[in-house]
Amino acid sequence: MDNTVNDLSAYRFGTRILDLSRPQVMGIVNVTPDSFSDGGTLYEARKLSVDQALERARQMVKDGATIIDVGGESTRPGAAVVSVQEELDRVLPVVERLNAELDVVISVDTSAPEVISGVAGLGAGLINDVRALGREGALEAAAATGLPVCVMHMQGSPATMQDAPHYDDVLDDVSYFLQQRIRACNDAGIASDRIILDPGFGFGKTVEHNLRLLNNMRQLHRFGMPLLVGTSRKSMIDHVLHRPVDQRLAGTLATVAIGVQQGGQIFRVHDVRETVDVVRMTEAILNEGRIDND
């Protein structure tokens, strides 16, 4: 495996291109009624409002997000199982509307082959799968789209992942898992330059596991692929600061600053404006002021 990240200055997400040689901010738009942090906020009378989803995404783009991540299935522990049709009904209209009205990369957080195939034709630029394309047919569906994919490490399933997670060494075990998924992607026809890696903060890990991963995340650059960091409002912050979900911004921003220092490329967050400020300020410090402010 490579020891450095490949050239990321013109990374293609479908029809759009981003410079991943600098950190980018991904705004979260959950079109679910039960996500752990913001579930149900885009619903009116128990019905999803595509208009509200569009306005939230529009504000995130205005605040500096270059990617919007649309998710139609909650993966929090104990979340209700969502049928494929229900996920399609939630996600497809939002993706289509965002693509028509916003100049932004659209990521879709899904594990379902049917959703992967469906969003590709509506303007999605990234498939973001917490199950690392592990469902039957997901690898083949993702390969057929030609889009980049983000594969994430998770020990167990969303229903069981926090039941006493254990590792011989979390860094080694996560690295080994990601290496195996890279090979599976390659075997399915997904080239390495279309793969983004997510260590899976909060997915089958104790707070100690999460903090060790974050503090040593740079080691995952041995694969030569971009890294996605998803720590926003997660319970690891509560374990350290003892804050409820709606009071975890400061803790989240601390993890983002360390993530930038560790070489993360994409930061998946709920609070875009504050995150963009922290990313740019951390960049300026690391580069001692030699930075483009555009």
Chain segment 169-186, per-residue pLDDT in tens? 999 999 999 999 999 999
For residue 161, the model assigns a pLDDT of: 53
Residue 291: inside a domain = no
Beta-carbon neighbour count of residue 165 at 10 Å? 17
Q: Give the integer Cα–Cα distance in Å for 262 and 221.
A: 9
**What type of residue sits at position 65?**
A
Residue 185: inside a domain = yes
* pLDDT tens, residue by residue, 197-245: 999 999 989 999 999 999 999 999 999 999 999 999 999 999 999 999 9
Q: Which of 234, 243, 273, 290 is catalytic?
A: 234
Is 268 one of the catalytic residues? yes
Residue 1: inside a domain = no
Residue 4: inside a domain = no
Q: Which of 194, 205, 268, 280 is catalytic?
A: 268
- Residue ranges making up the domain that contains 45: 11-286
DSSP 267: E
Is 47 one of the catalytic residues? no
Q: What is the domain-level CATH number for residue 177? A: 3.20.20.20
Residue 79: inside a domain = yes
Band of residue 152 on the pLDDT scale cut at 50, 70, 90 = very high
Q: 229 pairs with which residues across the strands?
A: 267
For residue 166, the model assigns a pLDDT of: 77
Kindly give the pairing relationship between strand 47-48 and strand 43-44. Answer: antiparallel
Kindly give the pairing relationship between strand 16-18 and strand 11-13. Answer: antiparallel
Whole-angstrom CA distances from 247 to 178, 242, 250 are: 32, 9, 8
Residue 183: inside a domain = yes
Whole-angstrom CA distances from 60 to 63, 146, 207, 239 are: 5, 26, 29, 28
Q: Give the integer Cα–Cα distance in Å for 19 and 28.
A: 20
Q: Is the pLDDT of residue 250 over 90?
A: yes
Q: Kindly state the percentage of the chain with pLDDT values over 90.
A: 81
Residue 144: inside a domain = yes
Beta-carbon neighbour count of residue 46 at 10 Å? 7
Band of residue 79 on the pLDDT scale cut at 50, 70, 90 = low
Q: Does the pTM of the predicted model rise above 0.85?
A: yes
Residue 56: inside a domain = yes
Domain count, the chain: 1
